[in-house]
Chains A and B, each alone.
Chain A
Amino acid sequence: MKVTLRVKRYDPERDRSPRWQEYTVEVEDYATVLDALIKVREEIDESLALRCSCRSHICGSCAMRINQKGGLACKTKLAEVAGDGGTVVVEPAGNLPVVKDLVVDLVPFFDKVRAVDPYLQPAGPPPEREYIASNEDMENVKGAMACILCGACVSDCTVLEVDPDFLGPAALAKAWRFVADPRDAADEERLGALSERNGIWDCTHCFMCVEVCPKDVKPMERILDLRRRAMEAGFKNNNGSRHSDAFVETIRESGRLDETKVAIRSTSGLGELLSWSGVGLRSFLHGKVPLSHKPIPGAEHVRKIFDKLETKAGEAQ
């Protein structure tokens, strides 16, 4: 099978800006993007920089963007992304500084993982033998333990594109792994810290990390679960919790979302509310602010469902 790799190349020490270079190689039908890149480096251009080690999606070294999507080069089959005679676009992972060509600097990545204290913090005197966790609990955390710290999720996280200080999907999934671990006793501290700026409430719920993770860690789902746990633990003095409460309240009241009420109730106070006045006024003038919010027919049934299930959730706490 013949494929063309269109590779984004950049050597910050020599180039003023990135450039594109195309390489055409003949590979086996079952070859991966990494196989083709290695072939390029060995046979065509030894100056092409890339990082890999295990070649079997274990070590996490080879994350990059393939056809605009984060993933492992060693796990991505060329037949699926290019096909015979096709072109595949290969770029370095996003949201991390480029060292050279397809190699990015992982220091900021690991700094964030370290920032969530990624180790078990049990309480009390150590047990005589090992710390015991039930099978069920370990099954639960196993999904997040599968993370190989490759950075594909970070590469494609939409919030990181606009805010490099966001902790990001990999670090937050790692934080979840310890919060969800029954042997860890630092949940309060962890959830409190994660409720601060740059933490769980800064995720936009865009599913990008879920889509690209090669190990099905589902970082976003972990972040949402951390939000639930943080609210249950009482960390509610933030716009995220206020928004969640207001949202739920308006649906309970009328069966449908009351955007105006949610916006007002989600803010921290008058000052912040005033910063919204421009949008509010413009929307009002364009007939976009409903003058009354009517409940749906049968709203009382919805309220009953809320009473039953929200109380049940409350009791479970």
Chain B
Amino acid sequence: MKFAYYPGCVAKGGAPELYKSVNACLGPLGIEVEELHGAACTGAGVLTERNPELADTLNARTFAMAERLGLPILTICSTCTGTMYASHERLKDDAYRARINEHLADEGLEYRGTTEIYHLMWILVEKIGLDKVRSLVKRPLNGLRIAPFYGCYIVRPSRLVDPEHQKRDTYLEQIIAHLGADAVDYSGKTKCCGFPITTMNRRNALKLTGRNIAEAKDQGADLMVTPCPLCHLNLDGQQIDAARVIGRSLDVPILHLPQLLGLAFGLSPEELGLRHHIVTPRTVLQKFLAGAAV
């Protein structure tokens, strides 16, 4: 299975552990990739709200690069995925796509409208299959209680990101169960991490962050897992500040989806970049994964 790999800006910036852990999991999962080094930022919705045509042009440029390779796109970020999907939808209009293609002509690129986009989370369920994922588990995560946290863009608007009603907003729970752990149910799982308003209204952003983590913790979560590095920036990177704002201790480690996979596949903490976490998962993992040397 081969994909045109679009890691996004954060995996190559503030969340290096995401990039590392994806690389470490590709082999075991049997995924081959060709990274789209020349692809630009999706605009993460910010560009779209300002200038939709510009955002769609940058995304069409990425789609054209993948199309030229004849490969579907692999994403590892909820926000990249949702933003690409929105552009992808608008670019289905032939006349609009022709106009956007005029902006790409200088570079010799053209998007014909055939590129497909898959987040790693979708690939695990829809392309690889959960039974196969289970068969790769070397260190079952038995006893761990894990709270899923999706990130807005990968679950809403559902008619855009789940057009075939595959219940993509239950995939994390399914993956958690197939790795041997228990999924924690709580209402915050599809809510907002607060990241988008972090510079506009930090207090509200941190309250959102804190509230979601607190709810997961109160439902018994040992750790949380997210397919979105922007959520991770708030849930992990700003958890200490969030705890202060909501006035209670949190201390819930947040793993990226491929880190969770990697742990179950028996990969080492170094390969998964666990040292980059602000809230260290060490204690929790030592407790549950005897012999994991984390």
Contact = CB atoms under 8 A, between A and B. Distances in A.
B157 interface: yes
A198 to B, nearest CB: 9
A206 B38 contact: no
Interface string A289-311: 11001001111011011101110
Contacts of A288: 14-16, 237, 276, 278
Given A208-B156, A248-B47, A256 B58 contact: no
In this complex, the member of B39, B50, B202 whose beta carbon has the largest number of chain A beta carbons within 10 angstroms is: B50
Interface stretch (A2-10, A13-21, A167-175, A274-282): A274-282
A256 B207 contact: no
A228 interface: yes
Contact of A207 (B54, B156, B204): B156
Interface stretch (A53-61, A71-79, A257-265): A257-265
Contacts of A279: 237-238, 241
A244 B13 CA distance: 19
B49 interface: yes
Contact of B200 (A211, A243, A263, A312): A243
Contacts of B46: 243-244, 247-248
Contacts of B282: none
Nearest to B245: A162
A310 B51 contact: yes
B199 A158 contact: no
Contact of B39 (A240, A262, A296): A296
B194 interface: yes
B135 interface: no
Given A247-B47, A278-B240, A278-B241, A286 B13 contact: no
Interface string B228-242: 000001000110110
Nearest to A312: B53
A231 interface: yes
B200 A289 contact: no
Given A286-B278, A288-B16, A313 B54 contact: yes
A162 B207 contact: yes
Range of interface residues on B (Cβ < 8 Å): 35 or more
Contacts of B220: none
B237 A202 contact: no
Contacts of A161: 191, 208, 211
A227 B52 CA distance: 13
A205 B49 CA distance: 10
A266 B201 CA distance: 11
A190 B279 CA distance: 43
A288 B207 CA distance: 23
B196 interface: yes
Interface in B202-252: 202, 204-205, 207-208, 211, 233, 237-238, 240-241
A247 to B, nearest CB: 5
Contacts of B103: 305, 308-309
A231 B46 CA distance: 13
Nearest to B212: A158
Contacts of A231: 50
B140 to A, nearest CB: 28
Interface residues of A, number: 66
B275 interface: yes
A301 B275 CA distance: 36
B40 A296 contact: yes
B57 interface: yes
A180 B197 CA distance: 25
B194 A204 contact: yes
A153 B13 CA distance: 35
A305 to B, nearest CB: 5
A267 B202 CA distance: 11
Given A248-B50, A251-B47, A206 B14 contact: no
B120 to A, nearest CB: 20
Interface string B172-192: 000000000000000100011
Given A248-B46, A267-B199, A163 B58 contact: no
Contacts of A302: 40, 58, 61
A251 B240 contact: no
B157 A207 contact: yes
Given A282-B237, A305-B58, A309-B103, A255 B199 contact: no
B24 interface: no
A257 B275 CA distance: 24
Interface string A150-188: 000000001101110010000000000000000000000
Contacts of B74: none
In this complex, the member of A204, A278, A282 whose beta carbon has the largest number of chain B beta carbons within 10 angstroms is: A204
Nearest to A306: B54
Contacts of A296: 37-40
A203 B40 contact: no
Nearest to A161: B211
A202 B192 contact: no
A239 interface: yes
A259 B14 contact: yes
Contact of B197 (A204, A263, A305, A312): A204
Contacts of B10: 257, 259
11 contacts: A163-B201, A204-B204, A210-B157, A211-B157, A256-B9, A256-B13, A256-B41, A279-B237, A279-B238, A282-B240, A299-B40
